[in-house]
Amino acid sequence: MKAIRPLCVAALAFFVVASAAKAQIPRDPTPVVAKTSPEDVANGKKLYEATCSKCHGLDGGGSDGPSLQGAPERLGDAEVGAIIRGGIPGTGMTAFGSLNVEETGQVVGYLRTLGHTADAEIAKGDIGKGKSVYGTSGCTGCHIISGEGGGAGPELTRVGAMRGPSYLRAALLTPGANLPQEAGAMERGRFTQFLFVRVVTKDGHTVDGTRVSEDSFTIVIKDAAGRFHTFKKLEVQKVEKIPGKSVMPSFKDTLSASQLDDLVAYLASLKGAQ
């Protein structure tokens, strides 16, 4: 018996190694479609709170995991559904095989209700006139729409898909007051995007810009001309973060009420046409 036992163990080890190498999780290829009836969304909410909220937050705004607000709009229902059912290798996002295609559709339907700043308000301006206002007000110097424009500020090609008229109007009047937050994994999420940063170097130079990236030792900012500046935090005099401030000017005094309406209508109409 003593002689046989190690052989059995060795044979088992071969089996284990050989089988593990082949093991794959089958992924149901059925595409997930968002289910948006009130009943479906209500059940999607329950499933979300039980299954997803521990990592992604009760409001979908991110916690240990990234923000999911706007995820179906950005990625599409089928892709979000595939991620839920198949997971993302190499991350904490494991496959949730416990949800069937219909339940996943309910969760995606619920995700579509989360975090929208697009609202029921319908833009009252004229889209065509708004496009002219956009072209003559200096916006193109800093923003890209469908490949055209400057890159100092955020791209606006799809801004209307995520931002409604109220938000857009507020952003034009008081830029920097309600900046979006990063959708990142774990503690990388929820950092304010386009945060105004003033860096004072040891020789007294001041550089203003918006934060592009930051870690515990370095910060990168982009100035109003779109140039990147990288600083070692330990090698500068001061890194001052100023929430609420923006490199973008307010259009409160430069646009008339109707021009503002038209510009808002134009921006709200931008839903991703390439």
**Using CB under 8 A as the criterion, which residues of the chain lie in contact with another protein when the complex forms?**
9-10, 12-14, 16-21, 23, 46, 49-51, 53-54, 57-59, 61-64, 87, 89-92, 94, 97, 181-182, 185-192, 195, 214-218, 234, 241, 243
Decide whether 88 or 225 has the Cβ nearer to another protein.
88
Angstrom distance (rounded) from CA 124 to CA 258: 9
CB of 133 to another protein, least distance (A): 33
Angstrom distance (rounded) from CA 267 to CA 164: 9
Angstrom distance (rounded) from CA 20 to CA 27: 17
Decide whether 64 or 121 has the Cβ nearer to another protein.
64
Angstrom distance (rounded) from CA 101 to CA 104: 5
CB of 54 to another protein, least distance (A): 6
Q: Are 71 and 185 in contact (CB under 8 A)?
A: no
Instruction: Enter the tokens of residue 47.
Output: 């499933």
Q: What are the distances in angstroms from CA 53 to CA 49, 196, 241, 259?
A: 5, 31, 30, 42
CB of 3 to another protein, least distance (A): 16
Decide whether 121 or 235 has the Cβ nearer to another protein.
235
CB of 96 to another protein, least distance (A): 10
Decide whether 23 or 273 has the Cβ nearer to another protein.
23
Specify the DSSP class assigned to residue 249.
P
Ramachandran class of 149: left when φ > 0, alpha when ψ lies in -120 to 50, beta otherwise: left
Decide whether 129 or 198 has the Cβ nearer to another protein.
198
CB of 83 to another protein, least distance (A): 14
CB of 190 to another protein, least distance (A): 3
Decide whether 69 or 259 has the Cβ nearer to another protein.
69
Q: What are the distances in angstroms from CA 126 to CA 131, 149, 251?
A: 9, 22, 18
Q: Look at strands 196-201 and 206-214 and give their pairing.
A: antiparallel
